[in-house]
Amino acid sequence: MTQQNQSPIKTDIIIIGAGPCGLFAVFELGLLDLKCHLVDILDMPGGQCAELYPEKPIYDIPALPVCTGQELTDRLLEQIAPFDPVFHYGQMAEALEKLEDGSWLLTTSEGIKLNAPVVVIAAGGGSFVPKRPPLSDLDGFEASGAVQYAVRQRDRLSGKRLVIAGGGDSALDWTVNLVDIAESVTLVHRRDDFRAAPDTVAKMRALVEDGRVTLHIGQLKGLEGADGKLENVLVQAAGAEAPDALPADVLLPFYGLTMKLGPIANFGLNLEENLIPVDTERFETSVPGIFAVGDINHYPGKLKLILSGFHEAALMAHAAHGIVHPDKKVRFQYTTSSSSLQQKLGVA
């Protein structure tokens, strides 16, 4: 949908980013009767959780002992459905302009124009791409699925010989969670020291001790195979004269993401190492009327946890209400007694 020659769409809040924090912001804003339009570069909601980790277990969401990234996204969408948010998928927030009345005009890469008193940036780390290993001839193996940077369909790895490369949470989480369905799992890291959660590291080492996972200390050096079919991953240990050939059907390199703010960097905000500083009372940026929640913001003591972003969204919503409706007071209500929510859910 394009709207280049039409009047701007007016709303209360523009949210850039439809990941978990952006979605939960819709809920908190909806409790205050604020309407939201969301813009996201992806063609679906969920951000990194849905795009890169749809089947990766998440353990730190209150009241949910474990859920996948996709399950969390689905539950959030169900939670915000009563507030009728409008999504603009597959579009980048390209330009932001302050109008004479103090409101904001945001233009997307598809020409959609949105006008609102408040803008909330919930764009995670910005646009993101996986870091590729420094190997030649990756394209053919990537195209065939022999090299994958995210596990989007766990069952498709059943019965496969897997080589997982990396030393962080993603590499070790998937090592632990794929061992039961794969024919074999080999974890490759450049040193015998890991950055993942201590509990996951302990689980991985127990699997190695039991012979269910092979740990190979070394660097990726190459791939062997033809016509997109992977046969071996070459790994060379420090001091070794030649690399070892590890039989593999699929290589899963988890070297993290390269983050780029994109056009957000040109919005006139103060930036600190590609993050947006905010206050911890309102989570407002250096520009009044523009807020930032989730991984994209920065403040002393910041923890990059989804639950932290949920807390930030709640405080942001009350501050945003004061901008959208400066003459209205917010009477604090527990969510259990919110008349707005009860009416939306049809239980009032």
Separation between Cα atoms, residue 133 and residue 311, nearest integer Å: 36
Question: Rounded distance, CA 241 to CA 244, Å?
Answer: 10
Residues 253 and 147: beta-carbon distance below 8 Å: yes
User: What region does 47 belong to: left with phi over 0, alpha with psi -120 to 50, or beta?
Assistant: left
pLDDT for 307 equals: 93
Which pLDDT value is given to residue 220? Answer: 96
**Residue ranges, the chain, pLDDT below 70:** 1-5, 51-52, 125-129, 257-263, 332-348
Predicted local confidence at residue 1, as pLDDT: 40
User: What is the pLDDT, as a whole number, of residue 2?
Assistant: 42
pLDDT, residue 3, reads: 46
Distance CA 29, CA 1 (A): 26
What are the tens digits of pLDDT across the range 3-55? 445 789 999 999 999 999 999 999 999 999 999 999 998 778 888 777 667 77
Looking at residue 102, the DSSP 8-state letter turns out to be S
Check if the beta carbon of residue 121 is closer than 8 Å to that of residue 17.
yes
State the burial class of residue 142 (Cβ atoms within 10 Å of its Cβ: 0-12, 13-18, 19+).
Answer: middle
Question: What domains appear along the chain, each with residue ranges and CATH number?
Answer: 9-128+258-345 (3.50.50.60), 132-255 (3.50.50.60)
Write down the pLDDT at residue 171.
94
Say if CB 297 and CB 312 are below 8 A apart: yes
Question: What number of residues does the chain have?
Answer: 348
